[in-house]
Amino acid sequence: MSIYSTNSGANQLMSDACQQICELLRSQSTFLVLTHYRPDGDAVGSQLALLLLLKDLGKTVEAWNDDEVPAKFRFLPQANLITGPSSEPKDFDVVIAIDTSTWQRVGLAAQRIRNKKHFINIDHHVSNEKFAEINWIVPEAPAAGQIAYDLIDRGGFKLTKEIATCLFAAISTDTGSFSYTGTTSESLRVAAKLVDTGINVGEICRQVYESYPYARLMLLQKALALLQLTDQKRIAYTWVTVEMFEESGAKREDTEGLIDYARAIEGVVVALLFEEMAEPGKIRISLRSKHPKIDVNSVARRFGGGGHREAAGARLSGEPHEIERKVLAAVSEALAAATL
């Protein structure tokens, strides 16, 4: 197993990782590109960018996901090529997982791979479990799409307008439209190079940020009605229940971005969204931090989850109010330890 990360500052290791991956992209014939279920913009954009790159190289490539591409990302070039996992196990020369911190997060797709010669893991989550043959993990990158761009650039592959569109959507969404503190000068330079290909930035942003269904607004209304502040108003949290989905007609994908309304409240340091899953007794939690001293990845890992320092999540089983109590207590402990 090879592990490559910028944590050590070893640029040579990064170059070696990129070189190994590029050699496989050129030399192998059949590929499967995967990302996590419940895909967000970074997952969809990065997965599509690699799929389009491999198609341009004349490779046989498939892209699977347990869940459908969210409606607002279906405008991306050839998004229809992302399908559900094969009904029967299949063989591939290379399997690539991108923007996926644990192998379990690809879901059913993992069970539909019979044999693979090579296994690549490309990710930016600090909590990545390094589960593949080649693990190129760059925690400093604010989006997996930025690593995918680096792969294309270093490998001397052609950056088409279609690929650039996918990568811009990926990087834009995971940086909060270039507003989160994890956004780097390199992120902005990469974005400029993507724009230089002639992509329609206005149309991308309209589709991603200004094309929400009415049902999502109804869901937001219900979530805001339940919003509460605690711990001297430094923690904001709310719930999305199964009943709220049924009443609003919203889909699971419509929860994306709801937590930002709680995060945007003045004085709030940590925002949380508790979501009742369709499976009884299962709760999905999302956490966001607005302070560099508060690492919500560490909080999420206490409950079997993970992510980034400023954005993380987990899935828990149990009674909703007890889960709420335990998670809020853990966040309060993190705030107290940081002596804010």
Residues 165, 274 share a domain:
no
Residues 114, 21 share a domain:
yes
Eight-class DSSP state of 191: H
Residues 205, 277 share a domain:
no
Which of 159, 185, 209 marks a domain boundary? Answer: 209
Which of 209, 238, 258 marks a domain boundary? Answer: 209
Say which CATH number the domain at 71 has.
Answer: 3.90.1640.10
Cα angle: 282, vertex 283, 287; to 5 degrees: 155
Residues 197, 320 share a domain:
no
Owning domain of residue 146: 2-209
Q: Could you tell me where the DSSP H helices lie in the chain?
A: 11-27, 41-56, 144-155, 161-174, 185-195, 201-209, 214-225, 242-248, 259-263, 296-301, 320-337
The reported pLDDT for the residue numbered 82 is: 98
> Over its length of 340 residues, how does the chain's per-residue pLDDT go in tens digits?
444 444 444 455 556 888 899 999 999 999 999 999 999 999 999 999 999 999 999 999 999 999 999 999 999 999 999 999 999 999 999 999 999 999 999 999 999 999 999 999 999 999 999 999 999 999 999 999 999 999 999 999 999 999 999 999 999 999 999 998 889 999 999 999 999 999 999 999 999 999 999 999 999 999 999 999 999 999 999 999 999 999 999 999 999 999 999 999 999 999 999 999 999 999 999 999 999 999 999 999 999 999 999 999 999 999 999 999 999 999 999 999 998 7
Residues 179, 101 share a domain:
yes
Residues 122, 7 share a domain:
yes
Residues 104, 13 share a domain:
yes
Residues 330, 189 share a domain:
no
The edge-to-edge listing of strands for the beta sheet with 30-34 is 2-5, 134-137, 113-123, 90-98, 30-34, 60-64, 82-83
The reported pLDDT for the residue numbered 14 is: 59
Residues 290, 205 share a domain:
no
Tokens coding 263: 């995060």
Q: What region, left, alpha or beta, does residue 304 occupy, with left being phi > 0 and alpha being psi -120 to 50 degrees? A: left
Say which CATH number the domain at 247 has.
Answer: 3.10.310.30
Residue 309: CB atoms within 10 A of its CB come to 18
Residues 233, 194 share a domain:
no
Q: How far apart are CA 47 and CA 39, in angstroms?
A: 10
Q: What domain count does the chain have?
A: 2
Residues 246, 203 share a domain:
no
Residues 293, 162 share a domain:
no
Which of 182, 209, 236 marks a domain boundary? Answer: 209
